Amino acid sequence: MLLMYEFAAIEQKWQRRWESERLYRAPDESGKPKYYSMEMLPYPSGDLHVGHAKNYTLGDAVARTMRMLGYNVLHPMGWDAFGLPAENAAIDRGIDPAAWTAENILNMRRQIRLMGTGYDWTREIASCEPEYYRWNQWLFLQLFRRGLAYKREAPVNWCPHDQTVLANEQVVDGRCWRCAHLVERRNLSQWFLRITAYADRLLADLDKLGGWPERTRTMQRNWIGRSEGANVTFAVDGLDESIQVFTTRLDTLYGVTFLAVAPEHRIVDSIKRIVSADDAAAIDAFAASLKSKSELERTSLMEKTGIFTGAYAIHPLTHERVPIWLTNYVLAEYGGGAVMGVPAHDERDFDFAKRRGLRVAQVIVPHDEAVVVPLAAPYVEDGRLLASEEYSEMSSARARDAIAERLIALGVGAKSVSYKLRDWLISRQRYWGTPIPIVHCVACGEVAVPEDQLPVMLPPREFVAGQTSTLATIAEFIETTCPKCSGPARRESDTMDTFFESSWYYLRYLDPHNDSAPWDPRRAAHWMNVDQYIGGAEHAVLHLLYSRFFYKFFHDEGWVSGPDEPFQRLFHQGLLLRDGEKMSKSRGNVVGIDETAERNGVDAMRLFLLYVTPPEETSNWTDDGISGRVRLLNRIWRACEPLSGVVGSDRRALPNAADPAERALLRAVHVVAKSATDETLSRRFHYNTTIAKLDELVNLMTAASSDAPSPSLLYAVSVLPILIAPFAPHIAEELWERYGHKSSVHLERYVEPDERALAVEEITLVVQINGKVRARIAAPAGIGEEAAMELAMADSNVRAHLDGKDIRKAIYVADKLLNVVAA
């Protein structure tokens, strides 16, 4: 009978024991250096599949290796438990979202344990629990107190399917990030967080984040979108009011032939009063036609349109009259919602001017051109100014400064910086979320719920299948009294964007049961920052930006200390596909955790996920692929288990060996140890190469097995469980126990790579002639150039290729290569 590794019983046995012994608990006090390692917390949607396992297995391997390298590792897990899927399930089926969520958490916690992960479950959190969202509300109140949370009416993104507004970051290609329906534009009064107040710091501090993927930093940079330029004030002819435009190209100011204004601009109402009734009617009609269109529809999807208002602005320097147009392509929310139209030097203005027959006035020419020729396309580069009064002949760069000075002196301009980043809209017109702790009083206005009245509990409600509703419909929740004046008042009926909860949960893990503060700053001082954060790249401008904003706020408030960035190192794992396709229920190609654990075992699954590609790459689940890892585990079992009575702690000292095969075996052990250590400490996490080296080791062990095992084989067998513990924790633990050890292999120190064992005595000397390999000769390590040349010349193939040629020179790379240059 072949000896087979009976994974099912063994894996269960150890998962139970780890749990009952709380093996992975991270004490707040320890003599060891701390290491905070975390994966993005999951939404409890139902079932986990092997795609989730790829993420958690990587994080687990990292945490386990760091623990075995001597760190006090904090590796927590929790649940991002508020959100729309639960509410939608509740509406579909007429059930309670809390119950649905609790059931899913139960199942997913079981599945995460089934993966053999080593989390500190004593720190588990769920964001839908009052103990958690109470602090969510508390943090909101602190933001409110500082003026960083405010309510205002603004054009916002409305998803007609999900029946709620969305943050800018949650609109992807003009569509709702969750349900992919086209987003509409609505003017609504909503709660915002003033993330723009932190725009400069969020941008500048990206440079500190050397441990982040460059592409993620670039995405955040682009999202924040800082532009340096100037504001210019254009008076409106016939009005006391003016229009301010933002431009980065002040050097083109003399090329302005029109002003383009968003139909939402404040000036429009005033303009209607000074133009003809026909013009006013046309303005209204144009504004109405764009009113509900989203930014995407108005800009990317539509051609440029616009109407002349009938009014004129006055150019601040030339005092010429400039027609004011309303257009679809000017964004109301950026740069003041008005643009100076310079068709000669801007693609968009050129396009619009051509369509509407507006004048094109060239004022910049390339430095090497003397004359103005009719433009077939706008000239958008810097150059030399023309037709610009005293600024003519200046370079663009100098003119920008000179014109800015003049405008400032005249009081009609100022240098200015604009950002694409907009304030974070956090109101959601949905039930299953954190209630915003504000009361609207007729007399007092917006009043914060006093902190001692937190949490504002999410009221229970009946869900009837097919029926949507929000907190606004629950009268006993809405109707209240004002905390200030005790007069009649109404509670805020919106709940918070769930990204609010996930912007600070990494701090709650540090102090999950604290009922007087969201966390103790001393704990934060000890554990922060997160040393390694692992999660998907899809959060690059969502969670990862919001969290940075929150953390900077906390830092300013003195609640956290040290660097004002939460995540020192970030790693994005790649997707996991199934046979080249995305896993999804509708395709029916989802590989579940349970069935995989049952068929192949968890250790095999973990090894496969780490082995198939480097972790940042998209990888592909195949049933054939995992069988290779099942085979590896069986080979490990057969190499080690029969010797379990022979090996014990006395076999763990590195033996001396003279025999080349034994030396190779010892070396293979330490090659694995070095690889695992290096891949972890370098944060490259390419455990695929570590496991390939493990394959080589096991191949050597299989070849070396005999009735009289050598000291080197016994050594390899005795330390193998330590080597594989981070990757295949169950089989490692089982072998360890069978060797007679009383405590867990996961409490052992990892095998320290030994230079003596890694040293090679014999090398392969590669002999090249003119760069082509002509011989490979075994040679002792440390051989000198002369001796190497002698060996090479003794080789018949080398001599044949050198026949009749003069040796010009030789390049010798120690212990590797000798290249003879000859002609």
Partner RNA sequence: GCCCAGAUGGCGGAAUUGGUAGACGCGCUGGUUUCAGGUACCAGUGGUGGCAACACCGUGGGGGUUCGAGUCCCUUUCUGGGCACCA
Residues 300-319 that bind RNA (CB under 7 A): 300, 302-304
| Phi, psi (degrees; rounded to nearest 5) at 221 | -55, -50
329 touches RNA (CB under 7 A): yes
186 or 638: CB nearest RNA: 638
CB of 618 to RNA, least distance (A): 7
Dihedral (Cα; 197, 200, 205, 206), 10-degree rounding: 110
Listed in sequence order, the residues at least 6 apart from 374 whose beta carbon sits closer than 8 Å to its beta carbon are none
Which tokens go with 755? 């230079």
Cβ proximity to RNA, 92 vs 598, nearer residue: 598
Min CB(540)–RNA separation in Å: 7
Q: Which of residues 163-182 bind RNA (CB under 7 A)?
A: 172-173
For RNA, the closer CB: 564 or 815? 815
Q: Which stretch binds RNA (CB under 7 A): 61-69, 429-437, 477-485, 634-642?
A: 634-642
**Minimum distance between the CB of residue 545 and RNA, rounded to whole angstroms?**
11
Min separation Cβ 396 and RNA, Å: 13
- Which residue spans within 610-754 are E strands per DSSP? 619-621
For residues 612 to 631, the per-residue mask of contacts with RNA, x marking binding by CB under 7 A and - elsewhere, is xxx--xxxx-xxxx-xx-xx
Chain positions 331 to 360 lying near RNA, rule: CB under 7 A, are: 331, 334-335, 337, 339-340, 342, 346-348, 351
Residues between 388 and 407 that touch RNA (CB under 7 A): none
Determine, following the binding rule CB under 7 A, whether residue 51 of this chain makes contact with RNA.
no
Q: CB-wise, 92 or 347, nearer to RNA?
A: 347
- Residue closer to RNA by CB (options 525, 800) is 800
CB of 199 to RNA, least distance (A): 12
Return the number of the residue (103 or 347) whose C-beta is nearest RNA.
347
Asked if 682 touches RNA (CB under 7 A), the answer is yes
Among the listed ranges 246-254, 400-408, 435-443, 665-673, the one in contact with RNA (CB under 7 A) is: 246-254
d(CA 333, CA 498): 24
Closest separation in Å from C-beta 216 to RNA: 9
How many residues touch RNA under the rule CB under 7 A: the total is: 97
d(CA 281, CA 287): 10
Whether the bond between 328 and the residue before it is cis, its omega within 30 degrees of 0, is no
**In the window 559-578, what residues touch RNA (CB under 7 A)?**
none
Q: Which is nearer to RNA, 110 or 215 (CB)?
A: 215
Nearest approach, Cβ of residue 247 and RNA (Å) = 3
Secondary structure element (H or E) that encloses residue 140, with its range: helix 130-145
246, β-bridge pairs = 231
Of 730-789, binders to RNA (CB under 7 A) are 764, 766, 768, 770-774, 776
Q: Is 470 in the site for RNA (CB under 7 A)?
A: no
- Of 507, 547, 501, the C-alpha closest to 526 is 507
- Binders of RNA among residues 261 to 300 (CB under 7 A) are 262, 295-296, 298-300
Interface residue with RNA among 163, 227, 270, 589 (CB under 7 A) is 227
Q: Which stretch binds RNA (CB under 7 A): 27-35, 73-81, 204-212, 610-618?
A: 610-618
Name residues whose C-beta falls within 8 Å of residue 194's C-beta, 6 or more positions apart in sequence: 147, 148, 149, 150, 423
The verdict on 634 binding RNA (CB under 7 A) reads yes
212, 223, 234, 637: which one binds RNA (CB under 7 A): 223
What is the Cα–Cα distance from 440 to 435, expressed in whole angstroms? 14
Please give the backbone phi and psi of residue 100, each rounded to the nearest 5 degrees, phi first.
Answer: -60, -45
Across 559-621, the runs of DSSP E, i.e. the strands, are 570-572, 576-578, 581-582, 619-621
Q: Nearer to RNA by C-beta: 250 or 311?
A: 250
- Please give the angle made by the CA atoms of 184, 188 and 189, to the nearest 5 degrees: 150
CA distances to 2, 61, 115, 574, 760 from 728, rounded to whole Å, are: 21, 9, 10, 21, 29
Backbone angles phi, psi at 418, to 5 degrees: -120, 150
**Closer residue to RNA (CB): 310 or 625:** 625
Q: How far is the CB of 658 from RNA (least distance, A)?
A: 22
Sheet of 438-441: strand order equals: 445-448, 438-441, 488-491, 479-481
Residue ranges in 398-457 that form contacts with RNA under rule CB under 7 A: 418, 420
**DSSP letters along 297-360, please?**
IIIIISPP-EEEEEEEEE-TTT--EEEEEEESSS-TTSGGGEEEE-GGG-HHHHHHHHHHT---
- Judge contact between 426 and 435, C-beta under 8 A: no
Q: Which of 186, 291, 526, 599 forms a contact with RNA (CB under 7 A)?
A: 599
In the complex, the smallest distance separating the C-beta of residue 372 from RNA, rounded to whole angstroms, is 21
531-550: contacts with RNA (CB under 7 A): 537, 541
Nearest to 332 by CA among 417, 246, 264: 264
- Considering only 686, 726, 744, 748, the residue that binds RNA (CB under 7 A) is 686
Spatial separation of the C-alpha atoms in residues 212 and 219, rounded to whole Å: 12
Judged by beta carbon, residue 464 or residue 811, the one nearer RNA is: 811
- Pairing of β 34-39 and β 532-535: parallel
Q: Between the CA of residue 309 and those of 242, 261, 285, 305, 380, what are the distances in Å?
A: 15, 10, 12, 13, 27
Contact call for residue 254 and RNA (CB under 7 A): no
Toward RNA, which CB reaches closer, 561 or 634? 634
Q: Which of 98, 188, 219, 372 binds RNA (CB under 7 A)?
A: 219
- Taking the complex as a whole, how short is the minimal distance between the CB of residue 448 and RNA, in angstroms? 32
Exactly one of 497, 531, 603, 695 binds RNA (CB under 7 A); that residue is: 695
Binding of RNA by 692 (CB under 7 A): yes
Q: Which stretch binds RNA (CB under 7 A): 213-221, 279-287, 453-461, 717-725?
A: 213-221
Burial class (CB in 10 A: 0-12, 13-18, 19+), 735: buried
Min dist CB 776 to RNA, Å, is 5
Rounded to a whole number of angstroms, the minimum distance from the CB of residue 418 to RNA is 5
Should residue 25 be labelled a site residue for RNA when binding is judged by CB under 7 A? no
Q: What is the 3-state secondary structure (H, E, C) of 695-727?
A: HHHHHHHHHHCCCCCCHHHHHHHHHHHHHHCCC
Separation of first and last alpha carbons in the chain:
64
- Collapse the DSSP code of 152 into the 3-class scheme (helix H, G, I; strand E, B; otherwise coil) and give the result: strand
Segment contacting RNA by CB under 7 A, of 151-159, 247-255, 360-368, 488-496 = 247-255
The crossing angle, in degrees rounded to 10, of helices 711-724 and 660-681 is: 20
Choice between 350 and 554, CB closer to RNA:
350
Q: Does 806 bind RNA (CB under 7 A)?
A: no
Which residue's CB is nearer to RNA, number 189 or number 300? 300
Report residue 221 as tokens.
Answer: 């940079």
Determine phi and psi for 447, rounding to 5 degrees. Answer: -120, 130
Choose which of 797, 799, 805, 807 interacts with RNA (CB under 7 A).
797
Q: Is 222 in the site for RNA (CB under 7 A)?
A: yes
- Closest contact distance (angstroms) between CB of 778 and RNA is 10
> Measured from the CB of residue 343, what is the shortest distance to RNA in angstroms?
11
User: Minimum distance between the CB of residue 220 and RNA, rounded to whole angstroms?
Assistant: 9
Report if residue 19 touches RNA, rule: CB under 7 A. Answer: no
Q: Is 485 one of the binding residues for RNA (CB under 7 A)?
A: no
In degrees rounded to 5, what are phi and psi of residue 46?
145, -85
Nearest to 673 by CA among 754, 753, 759: 753
| Residue 736: closest CA among 640, 665, 632 | 640
Q: Residue 813 interacts with RNA (CB under 7 A)?
A: yes
